Structure 1
């Protein structure tokens, strides 16, 4: 048994101060803060533990490449994904005429998706907290006039999260509120990125070094899309779950799936879990749900009862609605003729089109080399994908790929999508026969997204005119779920939101949600730092409200 683990009997006998469902960025940070404050915390995580001392973990590359033999059967494939910190959930996309089923490229296990992320940890703009004003015609979107908290209220928690996650980077020159930030300096731009930086500056644009939760130790590969083998990456496992269990007495139940919450009209009474070959009933004074913006609403909707006929905390019928995921398109450029970029190069950000000509679009970031991103995007995250496809790339096809596609620097165009009631997450109507989580999504692009995306890509193409480029249009692909959010939004009105300004369910006294479900708008930036900062803020409120007042 590794540090922090415990037996099923020990877990059931205790009355915990806090049970945290999910050990990703939200759960990891909240659990750490509460354990540090002396609370008796239990993390319950559906995925595997990848903490120090756990054997069998796959690191240094995506498992499809590390263990290609695992792709010969679905069982061995899912086992490899789990050992690499990846989700094995099945998502059914019921948005179109035909149902599409896929395994999302998101994290599951200690650290959640933060264990796989590209480490960009960036504050939202102050204007992101008053989002509706940023769009000329939001149509039938439910985007609110304002978040229930302001940038100024979250700013001190942003600073704590940046320190905790070891964020290094440069301030964005287009963000007045970032002028006073004093982050540790990042390393210099790589030669591949410096060419683009010089060009953008010459065009009058404002590139800067992305704030990254990375130590940049010698030989650091920045480990985007897979677990870090060198402990360069700061994530929720390293900076949240591990110190909580190793230093502050928190405990961990890994490979333990929460299936429902039992509650009366006012409080959660028990957390019901499927653990190994049995069922556990856990008791806690406070329950913090952080299972991710896909699974958290499904858990609440599956917690129906006589008191909660539409699902727990769902008196507003908002649970699962307002699904957002960002619209992400890849643009590959060749900064120099004949260049062959193979090194990781996730460094540049620029926001000249974030707010542009009275309209909101999004951010642009250098995302790395196509050599490292293509296996993730082309071979795993596709509807209907089966493991055997990894063996289909013939030498001839590989030659074409190496000549015409590989070698460039990939830019990620990340555009804000707005929330709509009809974009949503639902429980699956098919029971699980293999223990895997199943859920459904409905998501379609609305006129605002279609028009803004066309303008955004057109402007980027114009800016990048001198370079050879290749655009990989992935924004329409509903399997792109890396930044999913919004399915249990917080707000001041219980009729139009699930959570209050402290992320407590409006109708349940001891239930909080701290993953990206709480976002009432997606902003146009990576969500990790905002999730972390808010989780620390909410944890401080829980500690004061439930244990020290």
Structure 2
């Protein structure tokens, strides 16, 4: 039977479990525990928005009403300045989604699994000087049943074709047929086969048929960076929280900003303090606490949660909280097709908006090329996409001439017309490991406070040169594909700055408290009634987007929490 009340000294806890956050790391925990009958409360700093609010309007996207306001809450970002020092700036770029469901509302929903080698990066490829690479305390085989569970519960579409780097699967294929494909996919496939590359269909966390009250994809083209109007995208809110929001044993408190976990003399967490919508400080007690605020903010919350047994912050007795942060290394590239020099059939096909360009390449998930390295090294993934519509943003960029002067009048009109009617931009994105190291971490900026008087997070984001080498190799492969497709222009570049999303790490899980924050069950080593279930737990991000892995691990940890509550 569910444990409705747990004693905290002589005080009964308000809830069995308190979950802080509502995104991909939080939704599965709430879904499982509420459906098991436990009494759960969820604190979310943002508001509740759903399909009624997600209109096909770029000005209404996450960049306006769904992100934290810069004047209320920001981050400090430190990056290498190129001269051996560090630049410093305040930024709002890391707020992926200030809304129930978090950044999962605005993802592109590329749902790749990690490979078995991603769990054994150190053992497989060896140490790299200057990096803090580590193996996972669990194996791919232990997480695989939860990958399968996610795909079935939230509805993943795709076609799992066999290839040299295909990860082992307990289900032969995805539960839903692939999304509709753009006609230019055929040109891409032919070009790849000419180059002896292996074009693969993309798995997406997007419904291709109605499921559990959610509609199938509308193929509007407004997907990545936009909230989903149909509910087809597998956001934590649409796929999980919608189904439990009205249950009597689930309480969702929106506009509730958690700022401190309190602990007792034994080191166990007893309550969480938060500010409500009116700025009043309140407190909630629970038997278990789950932190899932996004890597940067989860580390920040633990660092501000000082107690008698946690003088440097909860879980930070070995100074590991915030360490081993990793962004999404890689790059991006483009193929520009001049439609005025193509036949009408090709031009018409290129202009089609809606169907997905569901293709990716993983021929180089391991790079075995002596021109790059004497021994095999970890490579990555190339995803090929058409960007979602952003006409206002596009036009804003077109107003500038190459000499930096403004373009206006008829020349500007002609340039805008040509951009939208005479050419088409096809894009690829590269994903590879951002190696963890000592110059990429989260700490507190004691000289910067948010609107509630709490120190903001400082993100120090140095990069390892190995990442650049791998990313450049993959970017060059993407450019090669664009040229084989007949692009009039083909180019790419490598990222060295942190991406605004897809960050992970900061609360690495492992077996040694001296080098990790969490144990294999994602419990804080020295406070075992606190779990961290967002991407913070990941020792490395793999060479794919991490969302599916975060979902899968959160379902896995939910099982561990259920077992602890009934033991």
Task: Give me the TM-score of the superposition, normalised by structure 1.
Answer: 0.85
Matches within 5 A, 1:121-520: 121-135=111-125, 138-144=128-134, 146-174=135-163, 175-178=165-168, 181-183=172-174, 184-216=176-208, 217=216, 219-221=218-220, 223-247=223-247, 249-264=249-264, 265-277=266-278, 278-334=280-336, 337-338=339-340, 339=347, 340-341=350-351, 343-344=353-354, 345-357=356-368, 358-369=376-387, 371-372=389-390, 375=393, 399-400=414-415, 403=418, 407-429=424-446, 430-433=448-451, 438-466=456-484, 467-471=487-491, 473=493, 475-478=495-498, 480-520=499-539
Out of 516, 538, 547, the residue aligned to residue 528 of structure 1 is 547
Long gaps (5+) in structure 1:
1-11, 68-79, 380-391
Cα 1:348/1:143, change in 2 over 3 Å: same
Q: Which has the larger radius of gyration?
A: 2
Out of 49, 66, 71, the residue aligned to residue 84 of structure 1 is 66
CA shift, 1:14, in A, is 6.4
**1:278-298 deviations in whole A, cap 9, x for unaligned?**
111100000000000010000
Q: Is the 8 A contact 1:327 1:416 kept in 2?
A: yes
In structure 1, C-alpha distance between the alignment counterparts of 2:546 and 2:512, rounded to whole Å:
24
Higher helix share: 1
Cα 1:248/1:82, change in 2 over 3 Å: farther
CA shift, 1:461, in A, is 2.5
SS for the counterpart of 2:557 is helix
Q: Is the 8 A contact 2:533 2:554 kept in 1?
A: yes
Q: Is the 8 A contact 1:271 1:281 kept in 2?
A: yes
Cα 1:103/1:59, change in 2 over 3 Å: farther
In structure 2, C-alpha distance between the alignment counterparts of 1:186 and 1:490, rounded to whole Å:
34
Cα RMSD, aligned residues only: 2.9
SS for the counterpart of 1:438 is strand
In structure 2, C-alpha distance between the alignment counterparts of 1:232 and 1:543, rounded to whole Å:
29
Matches within 5 A, 1:11-26: 15-26=14-25
Residue 61 (1) aligns with residue 57 (2): yes
Aligned length: 506
Of residues 329-338 and 90-99 in structure 1, the stretch that sits farther from structure 2 once superposed is: 329-338
Q: Is the 8 A contact 2:207 2:217 kept in 1?
A: no
Task: Give me the TM-score of the superposition, normalised by structure 2.
Answer: 0.82
- The equivalent of 1:385 in structure 2 is none
Cα 1:481/1:66, change in 2 over 3 Å: closer
CA shift, 1:194, in A, is 2.5
Matches within 5 A, 1:81-120: 81=63, 83-84=65-66, 89-96=73-80, 97-104=86-93, 106-120=96-110
Q: Is the 8 A contact 2:201 2:358 kept in 1?
A: yes
Cα 1:138/1:202, change in 2 over 3 Å: same
- The equivalent of 1:7 in structure 2 is none
SS for the counterpart of 1:538 is helix
**1:275-321 deviations in whole A, cap 9, x for unaligned?**
12311110000000000001000000111233212111111211101
Q: Is the 8 A contact 1:341 1:409 kept in 2?
A: no
CA shift, 1:445, in A, is 1.7
